[in-house]
Amino acid sequence: MNKLAASPGFLHGGDYNPDQWLDHPEILKQDLKFMQQAHINTVTVGVFAWALEEPTEGVYNFGWLDRVFAEMAKIHGHVILATPSGARPHWLSQKYPEVNRVDENGRRHTHGFRHNHCYSSPVYREKVRQINTKLAERYGQNPTLLMWHVSNEYSGECYCNLCQANWRRWLQRKYSSLDALNRAWCLSVWSGLYSDWSQVLPPSPLGETKVHGMDLDWKRFVTAMTIDFYQQESQPLRELTPNIPITTNFMADGPANQQYTPMVGLDYSKFAKAVDVVSWDSYPEWHNNYETVAETAMKTAYIHDQFWSLKQQPFLVMESTPSFVNWAQYNKAKQPGMHILSSLQQLAHGSDSTLYFQIRQAQGNSEKFHGAVIGHDGTTDNRVFQEVATYGAQLEKLAEIKGATKDVHVAIIFDWESQWAFDRGGGFGRPTRLGIQTLQKHYAIFWGQDIACDIVTPDADLSRYKLVVAPMLYLQRPATMQALQAYVAQGGTLVSSYFSGMVDEDDRVLLGGLPTPLRELFGIKRRELDTLLPGEHYHVRYGSKIYPTHDYDEVIEAETANVLATYTDNFYQATPALTQHHYQQGTAYYIAARMDRDFLTAFYAKIIAKLRLANSFVIAPSYEVSCQTRFQNGYQYHFLMNFSETPKTVKLQRSTLDLLTGTPVEKKVSLAKYGVMVLREKA
């Protein structure tokens, strides 16, 4: 068993930068005292400390880090030790300029910022190997070391000559012949045919921007190179510390952009296979002015569930803020109660930690106004510190839940490659692609009724789910279609929609309409797709109600499917908008238009009833009060969370034990605004 799995209780703490306070020994002493008061048991150190660890080439300075290990040992805490490749020292960029990234316009960047090295550079890889080896040799056997945090938030791309050469090698391995490449990318369009491998460049605004197959392969290549860099940088850690688990912190997209989704830049389903534990940095925009707190909670829940699903194992929240961030347009404080609610939400969805950025607020430079556990006032006598400390004490009462699993019967399919292709393809409505946002609309129906969901890739084992939701699965390989067919044939229930099965893995359109396996599965024929303008709606009659359509209306024809809903207007009036097809032992539904929450609620209500998916603990769940459950050692742990602005009463099927207060709880509970309870019962 690795060290993390063996360590009892949840991790509480986060990024700690004593390296910013070395000339303030009194502050470092105070930190330790404050950490104990906040029930902090874990620090992540050294994330950006390379310049301190190796001030000049080959000269190392670890005294300050030795002290952190010694101090954490005193309070029986853990150290998550980072490798420093996320930000390199000046001397390195100066002596070896090749380590600086080249952007898509071919410009070599000078030193600065972070997360911007070339991932091909042999010199950079070697320098990283050296420093990582030193760290592993020095701290690998230290009992306080819990885990490796490799680099930080990998992202971005490099277009230097070394990366270009790797790109061509990667393509040569994939395609073997130029002919195969020319065919895969459909290069007979616009005279794009290559006659020599040396002509193959990366996509660039100065050159090729229109070859969809190239863009898709480039994204695959960037993921492959990033993982390759990570693997090489982890090599000395794996060799010298086989019992210490390795992670790197994944990200989400767009928290300050009115959307919140897992990051799509790197294929995390591939990256997850290379880490021992999935971890991610969670920064939802609570209390914003474009949606309710419950909506923010739903999107955050979706991301947690996706990071759970990558390994079907507890993940870590590696960073979150105790109060506010500094990089949004408006950096709002969390309202009283939100810190504890949002942190327990992490646990509810499968996290085994609440870690922060950061423990002590920086005095200067770019993140000086980012929230932290210990603020500029340097006291414990403030709301943020108090809430963190209260939460830390609560976590200790919940220790037995660490490592607990989940019991999930609904899966939503998300595929990074399909998302890349879908976003890239021209045509249709450019601002209304909304791939993940649409998945979140489906997810919201289940989240709102406290029905747990996994978010899985098409190659997951679907047979363990009663319901698989796969709308807009644009790119489909033959294997994906076979898997969907097999799942339904064996008794599964599948929901899909317009935009599914449109292109192959090279982003070439699948000819002949809906591909045969899908046509057999759904019992329909695809005719055409109408893109609607903003504000333009047609309508669908479903049961006794009429619902508006949004953005896309697909025209289909039922072959062997039953028609459950029809369009009421436009040139496709009276044609099917929702079909159901019994395929061998199972059932496949097809939604032809983009529908809103009311329609989806009505549609899924029947499926939820038929498949008996309803939450078996909460009576009549409400959207704003969420219940998520984890399972361990014969117990179920229900997290009841009130994401509304008012107190709520929740009716429950059974009486339980309130783990935070240690008192029995009747079948009816009251939650304050932003209130949360953790209830235990025998499974």
Active site residues: 153, 319
Q: Which is nearer to ligand GLA, 343 or 418 (CB)?
A: 343
Instruction: Look at residue 506 and give the partner it binds from ligand GLA, Zn ion, none, a contact being a CB closer than 5 to 8 Å depending on partner kind.
Output: none
222 lines the binding site for Zn ion (CB under 5 A) = no
DSSP string, 581-643: EEETTEEEEEE-EEE-HHHHHHHHHHHHHHTT-S-SSEES--TTEEEEEEEETTEEEEEEEE-
Q: CA dihedral in degrees (658, 661, 663, 665; nearest 10)?
A: -40
Min CB(287)–ligand GLA separation in Å: 17
120 lines the binding site for Zn ion (CB under 5 A) = yes
Q: How far apart are the first and last CA of the chain?
A: 25
Cβ–Cβ under 8 Å, residues 20 and 362:
yes
Tell me which residue of 13, 6, 1, 18 sits closest to 70, measured CA to CA.
Answer: 18
Min CB(308)–ligand GLA separation in Å: 20
Query: Considering CB under 5 A, how many residues would be counted as binding Zn ion?
Result: 6
158 lines the binding site for Zn ion (CB under 5 A) = yes
Residues 6+ apart with CB under 8 A from 502: 474, 475, 509, 510
Tell me the CB-side half-sphere exposure of residue 564, using CA atoms within 13 A. Answer: 18
Instruction: Look at residue 49 and give the partner it binds from ligand GLA, Zn ion, none, a contact being a CB closer than 5 to 8 Å depending on partner kind.
Output: none
Tell me which residue of 73, 17, 78 sits closest to 48, measured CA to CA.
Answer: 17
Q: Which is nearer to Zn ion, 121 or 629 (CB)?
A: 121
Instruction: Look at residue 163 and give the partner it binds from ligand GLA, Zn ion, none, a contact being a CB closer than 5 to 8 Å depending on partner kind.
Output: Zn ion
Q: Which is nearer to ligand GLA, 295 or 367 (CB)?
A: 367
Min CB(303)–ligand GLA separation in Å: 14
- Sign of the C-alpha dihedral, residues 68, 74, 75, 80? positive
By DSSP bridging, strand 467-470 and strand 493-497 are: parallel
Q: Taking the mean position of all CA atoms in its chain, how far away is CA 384?
A: 26
Tell me which residue of 345, 316, 312, 344 sits closest to 454, measured CA to CA.
Answer: 312
Min CB(107)–Zn ion separation in Å: 12
Residues 6+ apart with CB under 8 A from 659: 397, 398, 637, 678, 679, 680
Q: Helix, strand, coil % (nearest 5) of the chain?
A: 35, 25, 40
In degrees, rounded to 5, the angle at the alpha carbon of residue 419 between the alpha carbons of residues 591 and 522 is: 30
d(CA 353, CA 304): 12
Among 80, 118, 277, 316, binds Zn ion (CB under 5 A): 118
Using CB positions, name the residue nearest to ligand GLA.
281
Burial status of residue 188 (CB atoms within 10 A of its CB: 0-12, 13-18, 19 or more): exposed
Q: Which is nearer to ligand GLA, 284 or 492 (CB)?
A: 284
Min CB(128)–ligand GLA separation in Å: 18
225 lines the binding site for Zn ion (CB under 5 A) = no
Instruction: Look at residue 120 and give the partner it binds from ligand GLA, Zn ion, none, a contact being a CB closer than 5 to 8 Å depending on partner kind.
Output: Zn ion
Q: Which is nearer to ligand GLA, 262 or 501 (CB)?
A: 262
Cβ–Cβ under 8 Å, residues 417 and 30:
no
Min CB(369)–ligand GLA separation in Å: 11
Q: Which is nearer to ligand GLA, 153 or 454 (CB)?
A: 153
The DSSP code for 141 is: T
Instruction: Look at residue 153 and give the partner it binds from ligand GLA, Zn ion, none, a contact being a CB closer than 5 to 8 Å depending on partner kind.
Output: ligand GLA
Instruction: Look at residue 319 and give the partner it binds from ligand GLA, Zn ion, none, a contact being a CB closer than 5 to 8 Å depending on partner kind.
Output: ligand GLA
Instruction: Look at residue 160 and give the partner it binds from Zn ion, ligand GLA, none, a contact being a CB closer than 5 to 8 Å depending on partner kind.
Output: Zn ion
224 lines the binding site for Zn ion (CB under 5 A) = no
Instruction: Look at residue 446 and give the partner it binds from ligand GLA, Zn ion, none, a contact being a CB closer than 5 to 8 Å depending on partner kind.
Output: none
Burial status of residue 250 (CB atoms within 10 A of its CB: 0-12, 13-18, 19 or more): buried
**Three-state secondary-structure class, residue 500:** coil
**Three-state secondary-structure class, residue 184:** helix
Binding to Zn ion (CB under 5 A): which residues in 264-283?
none
Pinpoint the alpha helices (H) of 96-246.
Answer: 122-139, 161-175, 178-184, 212-240
Min CB(15)–ligand GLA separation in Å: 6
Q: Which is nearer to ligand GLA, 367 or 520 (CB)?
A: 367
d(CA 233, CA 634): 40
Binding region for ligand GLA (CB under 6 A): 152-153, 281, 283, 319, 325, 357, 367, 370
Min CB(388)–ligand GLA separation in Å: 16
Cβ–Cβ under 8 Å, residues 519 and 612:
no
Q: Which is nearer to ligand GLA, 194 or 369 (CB)?
A: 369
Binding to Zn ion (CB under 5 A): which residues in 576-635?
none
Instruction: Look at residue 158 and give the partner it binds from ligand GLA, Zn ion, none, a contact being a CB closer than 5 to 8 Å depending on partner kind.
Output: Zn ion
Min CB(115)–ligand GLA separation in Å: 8
Q: Which is nearer to ligand GLA, 325 or 618 (CB)?
A: 325
d(CA 332, CA 269): 32
Which residues here bind Zn ion, judged by CB under 5 A? Answer: 118, 120, 158, 160, 162-163
